[in-house]
Structure formats: structure tokens, C-alpha cells
């Protein structure tokens, strides 16, 4: 008796605009090693990266004797996406995008009893306790919130900071944001730190978010404006949330460089963790602390409910050696890490009878 793993079959990879190659790459690398062909449907907001990479890969695959192992398809979701997701010949759909997109994909695949790997939204939070190295925290928070103009699924959206260190940390962040907001422009120019949002729709979403923040009583500490130049450029924005009052908009993920700041009592780490966990997504989280006890509480059962729980580094990014993915409305998928390959294969148990008798476990006798 033994177990073995077999190739699963064609894998559909739906990638998002913000990482137009990386998401496909870590799916395709595992899928090919596992013996699965890959169908790539890239975001229509970033098609040229996919076209270029596919063009580079095709002759390599052909030389290896597998000219058709990688396929590329373009088209609108209603026409192309729906047909692929519903096709029973595709046993695994790996989709990266918004929670709304995942809610459309998952029921269709589930209805045909297929498999899904979903990497969806992440309203990620950083907690800074009273013992934290504030210089270290400021660097991790600023990069996590403003890097890639806030357009990563792991971007830092919410900051919970202990009351006794809040003013000092906020002052550091305001200075950092001031420097970043002086260096906004074409990212091909290395003098710039902040590039554009993906399109006009994203810029309009940012403008609407700022208007709602002001209407709800949020205080703009830095940024908050559209940059007066051609393109979809906006300022990374730091928002202080009113103390002691509900601020529900903070729980909604805006795919833009907006960071909300709220304080918590110095000895109320439990309350800060509860605030972090209060949103529907569960992708990335971080705690800045010099307390071993606080760190262990953060990643223990009942601590962070996210798929990633970092200590003394920010939420943004992924260590490829570890499992990347999240819980709750983030989808539960893992496309990297120790056993991620199992999602791309089917498991088979084989029992071999090498004798000339057929014993039955139930004790039934044929004679």
C-alpha cells in the first residue's frame, strides 16, 4: 500500500494588474513542476507584461518539447473569464483580485466541484505597542502604506498605536510623508519615490475616499490631494481617526495610498488585536514591539487572524519561502510555502494484492 501524487490537469491563472507577472510566475512554476499546463488570463489593465513574458517563455518550452504547456488568453471577464471559470476541463482556478471578484469566481467553480486558490483583498493593519522601536516602525509603516502607491494586496491600510508613543510616531510619519510627497512622478525616473495609480477610475476612488473621510470627521495629517500633473498621481495620505468614535469607512479597503491612524491604551494589546481582526479580510498583519510576551501573544491562537503575522517588519511584501495567502474574505489560498505544490496535484492511494487470495476485512467467507 502506498500513496502517490499525480498531475491535476490544466490550471487557470487569473492575475491582477498590480503584480502583472509575479502572480502568474509563482503559479506557473509550481504547476509546471507538478505536470500541469497553465492558462493565463491577465488583467486587461496590464496586458503587455503578460504578452512579453509569454513571448519569452514560448521558445523555451518548445525547445524542451512542450510547446503548448503555457497558454495566454485575453478578453473581457463576461466573455472570456466566465467561460474559463465554468469549464469543467479546468480542475484548478487560481485567481488574484478583489474580494468582489472572488465572490463571483468561487461559487461557479464550487458548483462544478472544482478547486480554487483565491488571493483576494487585504485591509492590513500594523500595531505599534509602547515598547516598539519607533524609527523602525516608521520605516516599515511608510513603505507598507505608500509603496507601489498603496496598490498591493499587502499594503498597510490601518495603524493602531499605543497612546504614549502615538504623538512621536505620528510626527515621524508626517515628516516621511512630506518627503515622499515631494517625489511623485514617473517611476522610470529614479528621483521619484511614488508612481501613479493604475487608471482614472482608481484616482476617482481616491478622491471620493478623501471626501468621505473629511465628511466623517477624519483629520488629514499629510497628503490628501491629487497631484496637478498629467496622469493618475495622488499624494500618499495620513489620516487621524477620531478617538472614541466609530469610523466604519476605516474598515473598507480603498486601493490607494491612504493610511488610517487610531490609538489604543498602552496596556490594551488585546483591544488592538481585536481592532485589527475586526475587518472581513485576513491577509497580512504586523506588530512592532520589543516585548517577547507581546510578540508571542500576537501570533498565538486568538491573536492575529491573518495568514501573515510579522513582528518588527511591515505588512507589505512576501517571503517566497513561506506560505503566502490569507484567511476569511481573503480566500484562504496559498501559492508558496512548504506544501503549496499539493494544490496543483491529485492524491492517489494504491493498494496492491500480491497473493492468490483475497482476504476481506469484514470477515466474510466465500466458501
- Confirm whether 119 is a catalytic residue: yes
Burial pattern 46-84, b for ≥16 Cβ within 10 A else e, equals beebbeebbeebbeebeeeeeeebbebeeeebeeebeeb
Neighbours of 239 (CB within 10 A): 26
CA dist., res. 244 & res. 253, Å (int): 21
Burial pattern 281-305, b for ≥16 Cβ within 10 A else e, equals bbbbbbbbbeeeebbebbeeeebbb
- Confirm whether 153 is a catalytic residue: yes
Question: Does residue 204 come out as left (phi exceeding 0), alpha (psi in the -120 to 50 range) or beta?
Answer: alpha
Q: Which three cell numbers stand for residue 270?
A: 488585546
- Alpha helices in the chain, H assignment, sequence order: 22-33, 47-63, 82-86, 99-111, 134-146, 163-180, 200-215, 269-276, 292-299
Of 99, 116, 119, 306, which residue is the catalytic one?
119
SS3 287: strand
Dihedral (C-alpha) 249, 148, 159, 241: value to the nearest 10 degrees? -40
CA dist., res. 8 & res. 134, Å (int): 48
CA dist., res. 317 & res. 143, Å (int): 10
SS3 239: strand
Of 13, 34, 153, 306, which residue is the catalytic one?
153
Known catalytic residues? 119, 153
Amino acid at each position: 500500500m502506498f500513496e502517490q501524487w499525480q498531475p491535476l490537469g490544466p490550471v487557470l491563472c487569473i492575475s491582477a494588474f498590480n503584480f502583472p507577472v509575479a502572480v502568474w510566475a509563482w503559479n506557473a512554476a509550481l504547476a509546471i513542476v507538478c505536470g500541469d499546463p497553465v492558462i493565463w488570463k491577465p488583467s486587461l489593465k496590464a496586458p503587455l507584461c503578460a504578452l512579453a513574458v509569454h513571448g519569452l517563455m514560448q521558445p523555451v518550452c518548445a525547445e524542451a518539447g512542450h510547446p503548448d504547456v503555457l497558454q495566454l488568453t485575453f478578453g473581457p471577464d463576461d466573455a472570456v473569464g466566465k467561460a474559463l471559470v465554468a469549464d469543467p476541463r479546468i480542475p484548478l482556478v487560481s485567481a488574484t483580485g478583489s474580494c468582489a471578484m472572488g465572490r463571483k469566481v468561487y461559487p461557479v467553480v464550487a458548483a462544478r466541484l472544482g478547486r480554487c486558490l483565491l488571493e483576494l483583498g487585504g485591509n492590513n493593519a500594523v500595531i505599534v505597542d509602547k515598547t516598539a522601536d519607533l524609527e523602525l516602525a516608521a520605516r516599515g509603516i511608510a513603505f507598507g502604506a505608500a509603496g507601489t502607491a498603496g496598490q498591493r494586496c499587502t499594503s498597510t491600510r490601518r495603524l493602531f498605536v499605543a497612546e504614549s508613543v502615538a504623538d512621536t510616531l505620528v510626527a515621524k510619519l508626517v515628516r516621511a510623508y512630506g518627503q515622499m510627497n515631494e517625489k511623485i512622478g514617473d517611476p522610470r525616473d529614479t528621483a521619484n519615490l511614488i508612481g501613479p495609480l493604475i487608471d482614472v477610475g482608481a484616482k476617482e476612488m481616491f478622491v471620493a475616499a478623501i471626501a468621505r473621510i473629511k465628511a466623517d470627521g477624519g483629520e488629514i495629517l499629510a497628503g490628501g490631494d491629487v497631484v496637478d500633473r498629467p496622469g493618475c498621481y495622488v499624494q500618499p495620505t495620513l489620516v487621524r481617526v477620531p478617538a472614541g468614535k466609530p469610523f466604519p469607512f476605516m474598515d473598507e479597503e480603498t486601493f490607494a495610498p491612504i493610511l488610517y491612524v487610531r490609538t489604543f491604551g498602552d496596556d490594551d494589546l488585546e483591544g488592538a488585536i481585536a481592532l485589527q481582526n475586526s475587518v472581513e479580510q485576513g491577509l497580512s498583519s504586523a506588530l512592532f514591539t520589543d516585548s517577547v510576551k507581546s510578540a508571542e501573544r500576537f501570533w498565538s491562537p486568538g491573536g492575529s487572524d491573518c495568514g501573515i503575522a510579522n513582528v518588527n517588519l511591515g505588512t507589505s511584501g512576501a517571503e517566497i519561502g513561506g506560505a503566502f495567502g490569507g484567511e476569511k474574505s481573503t480566500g484562504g489560498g496559498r501559492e508558496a510555502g512548504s506544501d503549496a505544490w499539493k494544490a496543483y496535484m491529485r492524491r492517489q492511494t494504491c493498494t496492491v494484492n500480491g497473493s492468490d487470495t483475497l482476504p476481506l476485512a469484514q470477515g466474510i467467507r466465500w466458501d
